[in-house]
Chains A and B, each alone.
Chain A
Amino acid sequence: MKHLLTLAAVLAAGALTAPNQTSAQAVSCPVKIGGILPMTGSMAPITKKIAEAAQLALDHINQGGGIKGCPVELVLRDDQGQPTVGVDAAKYLVEVERVPAITGTISSGVTGPIISSITGPSKIVQISCCSTASAFTLDGRSGGYFFRTLPTSKTQAFATASEIARRGLKKTAIIYVNTDFGVDMTRFIKEALPKLGGEFVVEVPYTDNQPSYRAEVTKALAAKPESLMLVGFPKDAVTIVREWLSLGGSPKIALNNSMRVMDFVNGVGPKFLNESFGMDNAQVAGATVDAFNKAFAEKYKYDSNGPGVHTQYDALMVLGLAMNIAKDLTGPSIKDAVRQVHAAGGAQVGTGPDEFKKAVALIKEGKPIKYFGATGPIEFDANGDVTGPALVWKIADGQIVTDRVISIEEMQALFKKVE
């Protein structure tokens, strides 16, 4: 209660004094940004590089002039991959450290509760590198305060639906794993498919880790489908695809990104997958991406490949830019500013300290900027999500090869067509 009162007093004071002062004077140095990542626990192996990317972004922001003339400090807390610990960490950052913005975290299972119980209600901006569950930005829990720098499952779903239609596959049956991810994907594929010229005839959910999926496959086949969209994870997918083919299912099979591993291809047998294809997020090429990769390799002496590394860098850079643009360092102002980081007609700014310095100078002159990050152009849609390019892969000569890339422009056109 005491905290709340103080917080209210501070906010009230801020509201009263802000109009009379320039924004730079209202800021007390150093500026703190909260960070939540699973430094320990089952995610720890991938978090190391992600945290290093965050550190690199912090260095670049500080070398590039910081936020409103102040040096920036990242207050990083460990969520251990557990919702309770993550919510505690967020509570600490917001109530004790008084951060106006947080970056984090990886697991959707932790990010969700943090949005619902801390950052949403407290109007604190949160940018995640890695949580894909589409519900976060759609169900209203975030109040618009949650953003992420990686595409949600929607991007993959729409891309898959368009490829199904492009290849002229008809009467598609969807078999999907009954998890948030599978349900999400299926929902978007079903939404997109009819609008793009495809049609789906039946959807069958499955529970993972079962010895056999004959019942599910039989149910799907009863609708006389002429192609299959399978959303799931590799091990069960091997069983499902083999049973599907055995029972007379069509070899025209669309697969999601999890199946882009040789374990799956060899499990089913490459010769049975000649007419199949899959989808995945594509890595953008570009000068700003190369600059990030180079800076990362120079600092840490190994490459930046890995999940979440590029998106985490962008998450923090976007915060750095937005907090410079924001008229004051309160959640609502920063939230609005995040949307001006990639403004139409703005001057292009990229990754690295020099580019950040350039951006800060432009912002001071009141000019719009257009940020191109470690993952390419960062443009948030109405929900706070980004769209990324996708790639279509297929199996040729027993290997997984890229068939074609769906560029970000094509992707945006696709979104317009469906929504």
Chain B
Amino acid sequence: MLAQSLADGILTGAIIALGAIGVSLGLQILRFANFAHAELVTWGGYLALVFVTFAGPGTPTGPFSFGWQLIAAMLLAAVLTGGLAWLVDRLVFSRLRRSGAQPLSMVFASFGAALVMRHVVVLIWGSGSYFYTSELQIALEVLPGVRMLPDQLFILGLTLLVVTGLHLYLTHSRTGMAMRAMAESPALARVCGIEVEAVVRWTWILSGALAAMAGVFMGLSPQIHPEMGLSLMLALFAAAILGGVGSLVGAVVGGLLVGLAENLSVLFVDPGYKTAMPFLLLLLVLAVRPQGLFGDKA
């Protein structure tokens, strides 16, 4: 039971981590809490669905419930969702930035954008649920007492790969360094000749792409519906703040901790209180380390 809860927690945490990275980048580089981020998760799930509808989820390959088509759909959805995130920025946030809007105005604008994005999904696809595949996997006993689905192991592996890749990108590429510079100090970054708008654009595209992956992974286990992003939103913010704003490692660790807190809590308390557990953890961590686990001292 304990081992199974640990495994479940890590799996839930991996999906949360992918979404939380975008939130964390947004908080640090764009400097406002973007509540529309969770809707990118939903859009990612639906955009992949469009491709899957045309190409099919593919014949199940090996132990997995899907074939190469779903991977292709995910990559396509990642690119398109990145584009969508940038489009929302052009339409809404960049205008506000130019007119020197306060962070609070940006937050409220993001609420508005979230509502519009969610309801466009309902408008196009309706309010019902969709599935990538009608197959149902039976979990394998990977360790004594620990059952996992092959799909979940795949999700975990891919998340690890993406996060490692992103970490290398942020630390070694010019764009990555520019992004980190922006996060440190926008004014200094501008003085150094960094093109602010380009960094902002990359931030949106990266956040969108990662959110889309989280959306596809969520859709795999097991359904896609218009509120899927919304149901994840609080967990994403808890993870980003818990890990420390602006830290990639922080967001990943934060995501895992949120997943673990939810899944382990049912061992001790009524599962009805499960969703409150990450916030209890958040309060505890913030009381000890106000900047979050991996955050720099402001």
A interface residue numbers (CB < 8 A to B) = 178, 204-207, 209-212, 214-216, 218-219, 222, 235, 238-239, 242-243, 245-248, 263, 267-269, 272
**Would you list which residues of chain B between 229 and 269 have a CB under 8 Å from chain A?**
230-232, 235, 262-263, 265-267
Residues of A within 8 A of B12 (CB): 211-212, 214
A242 touches which one: B8, B136, B218, B227 (CB < 8 A)? B136
Interface check B167, CB cutoff 8 A: no
Evaluate whether A246 and B275 lie within 8 angstroms (CB atoms) in the complex, with A218-B5, A218-B266, A267-B129 already known. Answer: no
B interface residue numbers (CB < 8 A to A) = 1, 4-5, 8-9, 11-12, 15, 128-129, 131, 134, 136-139, 147, 149, 218, 221-223, 225, 227-228, 230-232, 235, 262-263, 265-267, 270-272, 274-275
A210 touches which one: B131, B149, B222, B275 (CB < 8 A)? B275
- A272 and B137 CA atoms in complex are apart in Å by 11
- B136 and A222 form a contact (CB under 8 A): no
- A210 and B8 form a contact (CB under 8 A): no
Beyond contacts A210-B275, A211-B232, A215-B271: 9 other A-B pairs, Cβ-Cβ < 8 A, are A207-B274, A207-B275, A212-B12, A214-B8, A214-B263, A222-B4, A238-B129, A242-B222, A267-B131
- B138 and A248 form a contact (CB under 8 A): yes
Distance (whole angstroms) from the CB of B261 to the closest CB of chain A: 10
- A219 and B131 CA atoms in complex are apart in Å by 26
- B136 and A218 form a contact (CB under 8 A): no
- A218 and B148 CA atoms in complex are apart in Å by 11
B264, closest chain A residue (CB): A215
- A218 and B262 CA atoms in complex are apart in Å by 12
Evaluate whether A218 and B263 lie within 8 angstroms (CB atoms) in the complex, with A246-B137, A247-B147 already known. Answer: yes
Distance (whole angstroms) from the CB of B20 to the closest CB of chain A: 14
Residues of B within 8 A of A207 (CB): 271-272, 274-275
A264, closest chain B residue (CB): B129
Residues of B within 8 A of A206 (CB): 271-272
- For this complex, 27 residue pairs linking A to B, each with C-beta atoms less than 8 Å apart, are A206-B271, A206-B272, A207-B274, A207-B275, A210-B274, A211-B15, A211-B232, A214-B8, A214-B11, A214-B263, A215-B8, A215-B262, A215-B266, A215-B274, A216-B271, A218-B5, A219-B266, A222-B4, A235-B223, A238-B223, A239-B222, A239-B223, A242-B136, A243-B222, A245-B138, A246-B139, A267-B223
Residues of A within 8 A of B232 (CB): 211
Distance (whole angstroms) from the CB of B225 to the closest CB of chain A: 7
B136 touches which one: A178, A214, A215, A269 (CB < 8 A)? A269
- B263 and A215 form a contact (CB under 8 A): yes
- A235 and B225 form a contact (CB under 8 A): yes
Distance (whole angstroms) from the CB of A229 to the closest CB of chain B: 16
Residues of A within 8 A of B11 (CB): 214
Residues of A within 8 A of B149 (CB): 246
A263 touches which one: B129, B270, B274 (CB < 8 A)? B129
B1 touches which one: A209, A222, A242 (CB < 8 A)? A222
Residues of B within 8 A of A247 (CB): 139, 147
Distance (whole angstroms) from the CB of B64 to the closest CB of chain A: 13
- B271 and A272 form a contact (CB under 8 A): no
Interface centre among A206, A214, A263 (most CB of B within 10 A): A214
B228, closest chain A residue (CB): A211
- A238 and B222 form a contact (CB under 8 A): yes
B1, closest chain A residue (CB): A222
